[in-house]
Structure 1
Amino acid sequence: MRALPPILTAQSAVPILTPVNRKPLPVQKSYPTLTGAPLPKEQTEALAQELDAIYKSVMDSLDGNDARYIKRVYATVVYSELVARGLLAAAGRLSSKRSQLSVWLLGTGVLSFSKILNNMELGHNVMHGQYDWMQHPHLNSQKFDWDIVCPAPLWQHSHNYLHHTFTNIVNRDHDVGYHLIRVTDEQSWTPSDRYNPLKTMILALGFEWAVAFHDIQISVDEYADSPEMHTMLQQKSRDLFAKIARQVGKDYIVLPAIAGLALGSRSALTTLSGNITANIARNLWTWAVIFCGHLTEQAHIYTHLDDNESRGDWYVRQILGSSNIEGSKTFHILTGNLSHQIEHHIFPDMPAHRYASVAPQVQALCQQYGLDYNTGRFGKQFREVLKRIYFFSQPTPDEQRAYQQSRATTAADDAYDTASRSKKEQKSRTAVRGLKKYVPQVVRQALFYAWSAK
């Protein structure tokens, strides 16, 4: 999060906005795209002053209650995981298949809850620096590491910095489709986009793996011209594979092996299957919450970053590019309070459990300034996400023609290259193409940097 400007109170001398002097927003359409700030600078700066005042009020009031809250969350994660793993191991010792299934389902459910809470309300928020003010030796953004295969520093670069700075800007915010799914007409259509629903399902099932390799894919492009590129990517790739080894080793080798040695082979199997199922359940839940927070029908996409973007413009972009999800207090906790995605994007380092208290003020300001405050029940938001994904899997006639023209140009270039390329070079290119069928490019890149010398 960028540094806040000097805090101004709501009582500062700013223009009073009325329907008479408020500039109307453009007429909304499905899947809106903006090329610039929809409000004049005078209004965005007035909005920034009021939002900064809300932020300052909350941050100045943080106390022991907030510290006790996150410590209770941490304790809940630890103890629920211990209970879950005990249940999964014990399930293998039961003689009745019905009892075995019942205990396994209970253990898997509790473990899924623990992993979701670990990732969402604990890990995501702690690694955003929301509790750094506590100066806790473990619950801080520099030390905490969560229960997925992605190392914290890689996630903090791709998420805390890039995503929260360049939210919903095509080609700057790489979370727009995760380099895999077309979600806006600003992304050129290709035939592979017809498989958007299938690719989305694969992404959801293995979401932690997409998050893990996401920063490698980003960094290859981001540091392409840097002399330090190889060294930087080598360190990131080695950190990534070390974290994968620890995580996979814990869930799929060490814990099942301990259960098997202590209680028998059936306990090893129930532990392994429970771990796999809980990880998939966590992946599906986190994917759904995150996509509902960014890709509903009225979540705005931006074509570029305004060189003169002010703090107020940034606030407006965060508001229009985010969507909230309505639900119970328990629901909000399980989402890591990312159900208050709008509040999270304007106040990413505010303790997330405080979002509910400031949401009515933020919504009132959005109404005052004529900004859409996108909110709805989970079912509604989720349907809109699926509808959007399907919509952009199908090309318009113009997009189909543009793709065919680009293919014709590419074919002509390839024909020229083939004629001038040696047979040895052609064989090398063919071999690489064969490898691509089995190993995603980003995985090959990570492997290359992890084990190659500069």
Structure 2
Amino acid sequence: MGSGTEGTPVAAGVPSTQFTWEEVQRHCGREDKWIVIGRKVYDISQFCKRHPGGMRVIGHYAGQDATDPFNAFHIDKKLVQKYMTTLLIGELAADQPCFEPDKNKSAVEDFRELRAVVEHMGLMKPNRVFFFGMLFHILLVDVAAWLIMWYFGTSLLPFLTTTVLLCTVQAQAGWLQHDFGHLSVFSKSKWNHLAHKFVIGFLKGAPACWWNHLHFQHHAKPNCYRKDPDISMHPLLFALGKTLSVELGEQKKKYMPYNHQHKYFFLLGPPALLPLYFQWYIFYFTVKRKQWVDLAWMITYYIRIAFTYIPFLGVKWFLIMFFLIRFLESNWFVWVTQMNHIPMEIDRDKNKDWLTMQLAATCNVDQSLFNDWFTGHLNFQIEHHLFPTMPRHNYEKAAPLVKSLCAKHGVQYLSKPLLTAFADIVYSLRESGELWLDAYLHK
């Protein structure tokens, strides 16, 4: 038991109450959540509902050590810690380790040392010329798309060329909004948030609040069933991961013919995600949560693109072009974002240390100028997941340090050619589908 009354607030923010890990781990319920950050114990039961990053992302660490994700997601930790003093209820007892006893002590300590080295090397500092260059090239392609249709007309070739260029604008703006969303460009969070709303809202027609809600959960617990929204379609559409696929089969659940999922993925995955699902859901999400500022930013995009191209095409062909852009972008987006995760370990949350968890769920794609541009540097998914606020132009510099740490602790650091990474999505879907079928028929 703790040395004081469990849950008693600490006067003046001084942690006099002490707890064991066993006590902390009991507070992981829907209405009762504690976390540990730097040996300090915080009661976030009510705060998680107003957490700026969203209720779920912080709630996923209830009853656990949240030191590494706290360091990973916040760029002004001292400011955030000032607001946390009212949540402080105590600290770990002196005889308790800094993190859960079942975690790899050496891996945790070495990763935290690596983070300090990375910060000392200046790899968390952005080169803003790089990011303004990325924005400029997006705007340049956007203007070029309009000029082609203005000069050459609306016959098939200029129509398709404009469509491909506008798809490129959408994909590249998607990678750029990702940078701002992760607070990777400016030293002040408010400037990143404002730029994020501009890029994702005005350039793409999507809400920042929706992206934040989903994406931070993904980073907090990647490939963890019921905690990572990116695999939330399991098991309605796909049986993902070896363990969960077998469980579905043993439970005799068959929402889809999963043994054929590597085939229908080409219909329900890359082509359909954006035009058939995200396109309407983003409006539903924004209105339901009353995020009117984000909705206003979104509307500016649809007004802009409509007034730009309807005079050329008319309403019918404008809508055809619009959904063709979304179709092409969806293929680009899904193949790039899933190549790093679907072939990797997918399971329930095992509360692994930050290094082990991220490396189990992510892999890299080999570096090249094209791969960097095509994927928005998400070919360095490992470095991105370990250091989410790191500016993407520094991933390559951090990679040798991460490889060395992984080698030291026997953690697999996997990097593949781009086409191999694409193919592995299909192979992994086929494998997990076969595992499901075998369990379904024989268990």
In the TM superposition, residue 51 of structure 1 has moved relative to its aligned partner by 2.6
Return the alpha-carbon distance in structure 2 between the equivalents of residues 116 and 369 of structure 1: 36
3-state SS, counterpart of residue 407 of structure 2: helix
1:384 matched to 2:424? The reply is: yes
Deviations 1:160-189 (A, max 9, x none): 2x1111111112112125343221241524
Match 2:337 to one of 290, 297, 310: 290
1:203 matched to 2:289? The reply is: no
The letter for the 2-side match of 1:288 is: W
Return the alpha-carbon distance in structure 2 between the equivalents of residues 214 and 158 of structure 1: 13
In the TM superposition, residue 101 of structure 1 has moved relative to its aligned partner by 3.7
| TM-score between both structures, scaled by the size of structure 2 | 0.65
1:133 matched to 2:187? The reply is: yes
Return the alpha-carbon distance in structure 1 between the equivalents of residues 298 and 425 of structure 2: 30
Match 1:343 to one of 364, 372, 383: 383
Match 1:172 to one of 224, 227, 230: 227
Q: Is the 8 A contact 2:184 2:390 kept in 1?
A: yes
Return the alpha-carbon distance in structure 2 between the equivalents of residues 401 and 369 of structure 1: 38
Judge which range, 368-377 or 81-90, deviates more: 81-90
Deviations 1:116-135 (A, max 9, x none): 11111x11111111113167
- Aligned residue for 1:107? 162
- Aligned residue for 2:71? 4
Q: Map 1:345-384 onto structure 2 (within 5 A).
A: 345-384=385-424
Return the alpha-carbon distance in structure 2 between the equivalents of residues 213 and 273 of structure 1: 16
Q: Map 1:101-250 onto structure 2 (within 5 A).
A: 101-120=156-175, 122-133=176-187, 136=191, 140-141=195-196, 144-146=199-201, 147-160=203-216, 162-176=217-231, 178-179=233-234, 180-184=237-241, 185-187=243-245, 188-189=248-249, 190-194=254-258, 196=261, 197-208=263-274, 210-211=277-278, 234-235=288-289, 250=304
Gaps of 5+ in 2: 1-52, 54-68, 75-99
Shift in alpha-carbon separation, 1:245–1:343, aligned structure 2, 3 A: same
In the TM superposition, residue 359 of structure 1 has moved relative to its aligned partner by 1.1
Q: Is the 8 A contact 1:48 1:315 kept in 2?
A: yes
The letter for the 1-side match of 2:309 is: P
Return the alpha-carbon distance in structure 2 between the equivalents of residues 276 and 91 of structure 1: 22
The letter for the 2-side match of 1:326 is: D
Judge which range, 202-211 or 132-141, deviates more: 132-141
In the TM superposition, residue 144 of structure 1 has moved relative to its aligned partner by 4.5
Shift in alpha-carbon separation, 1:92–1:138, aligned structure 2, 3 A: farther
In the TM superposition, residue 61 of structure 1 has moved relative to its aligned partner by 6.5
**Quick one: percent identity of the two aligned structures?**
18
Q: Map 1:251-262 onto structure 2 (within 5 A).
A: 251=305, 253-260=306-313
Gaps of 5+ in 1: 7-36, 94-99, 220-231, 403-454
- Aligned residue for 1:443? none
Query: Which fold has the larger relative contact order, with Cα–Cα distance below 8 Å and residues 6 or more apart in sequence?
Result: 1
- Aligned residue for 1:450? none
Shift in alpha-carbon separation, 1:258–1:59, aligned structure 2, 3 A: farther
Return the alpha-carbon distance in structure 1 between the equivalents of residues 415 and 308 of structure 2: 41
Deviations 1:320-364 (A, max 9, x none): 210111142232122111111111111111111211111122112
CA-based RMSD of the aligned residues comes to 3.6
